[in-house]
Amino acid sequence: MPGIGVRKLTILAFAAAVSFAGLNAQGQGGGQDDAGHVATAAAGIRHVFVILLENKNYEDTFGNSTQDPYLQKQLVSQGALLTRYFGTGHVSLDNYIALISGQSPTPDTADDCPNFTNVEQTGTTGDGQVIAAKGCVYGSGVRNIVDQLKARGLSWKGYMEDMGNDPARESATCGHPAVGGRDNARSFQGPSEAVPQGDGYVTRHNPFVYFHSIIDSPDCNAHVVRLEALPADLTSAATTPGFALIAPNLCNDGHDGSGDGRSRCKNGEPGGLASIDAFLQAWVPKITSSPAFQKDGLLVITFDESNSTMEKTTDPQTGATITNFVFPGKACCGQQPGPNLAGVRPGTTALGGKSSFVYEGFGGDRVGALLLSPFIKPGSTSDTAYNHYSLLRSIEDILGLDGHLGYAANDRSRGYVLDTIGNDRAIFREADKPRAK
């Protein structure tokens, strides 16, 4: 939303900090949050899976595209479509981090962190946001959903496709660059004799490694693993993690390739929504047929952010044509920009006088989300607005985690109110009417 970022930032700077009882004093929790309570059958969910995909507009994914019939037709008819689900920022990494921690971007995470540097935290806002002018990896005191899950005694895993395909580039478990070093896992590495499948893992789609509390723990190697580990974990409910984040490779998440043959991924696959659809066809049945999902599972399929739009303008000085790539940056739910985006979002970046990137707001625009669960009304739709923060809030509430992290907490004093997806009666069955088994 143009202009809103600066104004709200000013409000935040002078707002009184009111801690929510029971939340970590280092900045997780808002001013006037509500206790989590799930009023529908979603309260019975004990296993949450999230498949996070890349850079598609709601109108394409769930409307106009002919590349993803499995998702658009078959899965939508089986699940619940959230028509007003929003990303929380542009470009990628800030969305992933928001989803597991409630943290808003730093200028570097909003720029996908080409260098794997520590967040240089100078303070914490009253609503739990880390104040930092730069950096990517949060200090050990900054909580995320892993801390909450562990406190609750619940298991978790990140399943990262292609991670470690090239072991020289990144480890097959907990793959990340050396702290302070350059991130070389930023694009799809094409196939070679040594790495026949190529390597489509990128660090920025693995939010877990941006927290010292995770990468400094031996847990990381056991919990942030290759996607190939998922089938074995799905064999029983006991071995299936309570929370699982699944990141396909750069082709299967739609980041690369056009999907229509005009531009193929570096591994020869079509990419775009076509590869997304193929990935979902391969993996969704594995998940939905698993004992854990059948008993009490929820699968969320969504996207980090939308694509941009393109418009051409004329430079009044030179008369030259300038191509503007416009990210509307729309947000929902009273989303706040956070304390670190002044001058960054909204903002315009000119590139060589020929093109500009125009971020009109700080949000991530409308991407939509599809939910599958035994507790869901098949073929249902909800027009309630949600975003990655509200998904985090929803998971916290559904799994009974300790409080709400960062912007997953409501702050009614600032008009910031998130709905919990689990309370959405348009899509979930009533609590007293559990699914027949």
Partner 1 sequence: MRRTARKHVVAAALCGLAVAGGAHPDRSPAASPVLTQPLSPAAALGRKLFFDASLSASGKLSCASCHSPTHAYGPPDGRAVRMGGVALDREGMRAVPSLRYTLARTPHWSEDVTASLAERIRDAEAPAGGFGWDGRFDTLHEQAAFPLLAPNEMANAGPAAVVAKLRAAPYAPEFRQVFGARILDDTDAAFAQVLQAIERFELEDGSFHPYSSRYDLYLDGKVQLTAQEKRGLALFDDPERGNCASCHLDQIGADGSHPLFTDYEMEALGVPRNPEIHANADPHYFDMGLCGPLRTDQAAKTEYCGLFKTPTLRNVATRKVFFHNGRFHTLREALRFYVRRDTGPGLWYPAGKAGAAEKFDDLPPALRANVDRGDAPLDRQQGGAPVWNDAEVDDVVAFLRTLTDADAADAGSPLR
Give the interface segment with partner 1, choosing from 138-146, 188-196, 313-321, 423-431 (CB under 8 A): 188-196
Q: Alpha carbon of 349 to those of 94, 337, 344, 345, 372: distances in Å? A: 18, 18, 9, 10, 39
Question: Is residue 221 near partner 1 by the rule CB under 8 A?
Answer: no
Among 66, 77, 122, 171, binds partner 1 (CB under 8 A): 171
Residue 54 vs 296, nearer CB to partner 1: 54
Torsion sign, CA atoms 11, 17, 21, 24: positive
Order of strands, edge to edge, in the sheet holding 321-327?
309-314, 321-327, 355-359, 347-351
Among 21, 168, 238, 436, contact with partner 1 (rule: CB under 8 A): 168
Residues 2, 22, 180, 181: which binds partner 1 (CB under 8 A)? 181
Report, in Å, the least distance between residue 89 CB and partner 1: 12
Give yes or no for residue 307 binding partner 1 (CB under 8 A): yes
Q: CA-to-CA distance for 335 and 361, rounded, in angstroms?
A: 11
Smallest separation (angstroms) from partner 1 to the CB of 190 = 3
Task: Let me know: does 279 contact 68? Beta carbons within 8 Å.
Answer: no
How far is it, in rounded angstroms, from Cα 66 to Cα 52?
20
Nearer to partner 1, 180 or 231 (CB): 180
Q: 394 near 361, Cβ under 8 Å?
A: no
Enclosing H/E stretch for 303? strand 297-303
Please, what is the minimum distance in Å from the beta carbon of residue 176 to partner 1? 9
With CB under 8 A as the contact rule, which of the stretches 147-155, 303-311, 361-369, 393-401 interacts with partner 1? 303-311
291: Cβ–Cβ under 8 A, 6 or more apart, which residues?
Answer: 234, 235, 236, 237, 240
Instruction: Examine residue 161 and tell whether it contacts partner 1 (CB under 8 A).
Output: no
Of 166 and 402, which CB lies nearer to partner 1 in the complex structure? 166
Per CB under 8 A, does 310 bind partner 1?
Answer: yes
- With beta carbons less than 8 A apart as the criterion, state whether 416 and 333 touch: yes
C-alpha 279 chain-centroid distance:
18
Read off the DSSP letter of residue 338.
-
- Residue 106 as a binder of partner 1 (CB under 8 A): the answer is no
Q: Does residue 311 sit in helix, strand or coil?
A: strand
Q: Nearest distance from residue 91's CB to partner 1, in Å?
A: 5
Q: Which of residues 249-268 bind partner 1 (CB under 8 A)?
A: 254-259, 263-266
* Edge-to-edge strand ranges of the sheet holding 243-247: 224-226, 156-160, 243-247, 47-53, 297-303, 369-372, 80-86, 380-387
Of 116, 173, 162, the C-alpha closest to 265 is 162
DSSP 110-133: GGT-SB-PBP-EEEE-TTSPEEES
- Among 45-53, 106-114, 142-150, 365-373, the segment contacting partner 1 (CB under 8 A): 106-114
Single residue of 5, 135, 248, 272 touching partner 1 by CB under 8 A: 272
How far separated are the first and last CA of the chain, in Å rounded?
A: 46
Among 74, 355, 381, 413, binds partner 1 (CB under 8 A): 355
Part of the chain binding partner 1 (CB under 8 A), chosen from 181-189, 241-249, 363-371, 376-384 = 181-189
Among 14, 16, 193, 318, binds partner 1 (CB under 8 A): 193
Smallest gap from Cβ 127 to partner 1, in A, equals 28
CB neighbour class for 413 (10 Å; exposed up to 12, middle 13-18, buried from 19): middle
CB of 318 to partner 1, least distance (A): 16
Q: How far is the CB of 188 from partner 1 (least distance, A)?
A: 7
Binding segment toward partner 1, per CB under 8 A, in 126-134, 174-182, 213-221, 410-418: 174-182
The stretch near partner 1 (CB under 8 A) out of 36-44, 121-129, 304-312, 364-372 is 304-312
Maximal C-alpha separation, the chain: 70
Strands 80-86 and 380-387: parallel
Contact pattern for partner 1 over residues 53 through 82, marking x by CB under 8 A = -xx---------------------------
Please give the size of the binding site for partner 1, defined by CB under 8 A. 51
- Note whether 155 and 205 are within 8 A (CB): no
Residues contributing to the site for partner 1 (CB under 8 A):
54-55, 91-92, 111-112, 114, 167-171, 175, 178, 181-182, 184, 186-195, 198, 204, 254-259, 263-266, 271-272, 307-308, 310, 323, 325, 327, 349, 351, 355, 357
